[in-house]
Amino acid sequence: MKHLLFTFIFLLVFSIGNVRAQQAKNPLKDQGHKITKVQSKLIFEKAKRLPENAQLSIAIIQNGKVNYFGVKKVKDSLETIQNHQKVFEIGSITKVFTATLLADFVTDEKLHLEDYINDYIDFPIKDDIQFSFKQLATHTSGLPRVPESLSSPTLDLTNPYKDYDEEKLKRYLSEKLVLSANPGEKSEYSNLGVGLLGFILGEIDNSSYMDLVQTKIFDRYDMANSTTLRSRVADKLVIGLNDNGEEVSHWDLAVLMGAGGILSTTEDLTKFALAQFNRNDKVLAMTRMPFHKISDDFATGLAWAIVKTETDNTWYWHNGGTGGYTSAMIIDTESKIGVIVLSNISALGKLTNEVIKLCPELMVTLE
């Protein structure tokens, strides 16, 4: 939840250079066909910095095949484990799923991307400010990153969103809203914007975000261990940690669920990634269209960050993070490759960058 889309460009450049500089002997056991020695070394270099009981759950997709690789820190040593069916909070990767719901609504002609949300809600927005669905999904709405009450420097980050309910959201938008930019003017990452999008889609469907994502995405792509309801996967859930290895609270996203409230596994996210390679899936294809160009090498789709690499490949990328978890996902639909990294390391600490950088570094090894 804490990572700006613009950090993708920096991390991409840093990571590619870092991969090419790897020289040391591979310190992990030979994993045979699962991962290469270069990939093993990259994983080790990140994992060795993690605290006790920290885990990395990794999926590497190449040529339509998937290799899973899990690592856990145990007594200052690294052990390989099978954790691709273990559940993690995926944080802002949730935004890709919210954008997918929007694309589904558009495909079913329930609304148009350029429609203003104002025509679909039962409360006024301050000063009659107009936002389109596309602006919410591309971070071009001008909405701030979070509502004012969630941006206080004294905010308790243990579980900051849990009490932010529908009433508070409506009151903020109708009475207290202050934009960070004019709608459509520029791209500024907004948890509020995509969280609002998820809420509105549930309202339009007379259901809920949880029901929508379950029926339209999880069921459709056979993602059996993905949910927004933690109790459903309690027996498979990996406990979140801070940089010191201490257990931390889960995050409940309440009315802003669409911004970062999904729990999933690398196995399920891999199914979603492989579905992106199907060119006949019009809903998924719509999310990957470059709706807002920021530079020659960077654009935003519906939630996806779209990055043109040094080798002229196109990566679709999103990171995620909560108080106890950091995640990253990159796919290249043309080359049909991808990397997914889930961890139980807090996005509020310094180690979160180690997890995030691993994803593009592993992608480089697939090109």
- For every residue of 272-341, DSSP letters joined together read HHHHTT-TT-HHHHHHTS--EEEETTEEE-SS-EEEE-TTS-EEEEEEEE-SS-EEEEEEETTTTEEEEE
- Per CATH, the architecture of 7-92+218-297+304-364 is what? 3-Layer(aba) Sandwich (3.40)
| Cα 290 from Cα 136, distance rounded (Å) | 14
| Cα 86 from Cα 264, distance rounded (Å) | 8
The token pair that represents 54 in the structure block: 């920290």
Q: How far is CA 299 from the centre of its chain?
A: 16
Confidence of residue 27 (pLDDT cuts 50, 70, 90): very low
Confidence of residue 1 (pLDDT cuts 50, 70, 90): low
Percent of the chain at pLDDT above 70? 91
pLDDT in tens, 83-96: 999 999 999 999 99
Domain ranges of the chain: 7-92+218-297+304-364, 93-215
Q: Are 360 and 88 in contact (CB under 8 A)?
A: no
Q: What pLDDT sits at residue 153? A: 87
Query: Looking at the DSSP assignment, which residues form a beta bridge with residue 306?
Result: 299, 316
**What average pLDDT does the structure give for the chain?**
92
Percent of the chain at pLDDT above 90? 88
Residue 10 has pLDDT above 50, yes or no: no
Residue 21 has pLDDT above 50, yes or no: no
Whole-Å CA distances, 319 to 192, 316, 328, 341, 356: 17, 11, 4, 9, 7
Which CATH number applies to 93-215: 3.40.50.2300, 1.10.1370.40, 1.25.40.10, 3.40.710.10? 3.40.710.10
pLDDT in tens, 169-178: 999 999 999 9
Q: What pLDDT sits at residue 22? A: 38
Rounded to the nearest 10 degrees, the angle between the axes of helix 352-364 and helix 37-47 is 170
Confidence of residue 5 (pLDDT cuts 50, 70, 90): very low
Q: What pLDDT sits at residue 29? A: 55
93-215 has the same fold as 7-92+218-297+304-364: yes
Q: What pLDDT sits at residue 52? A: 97
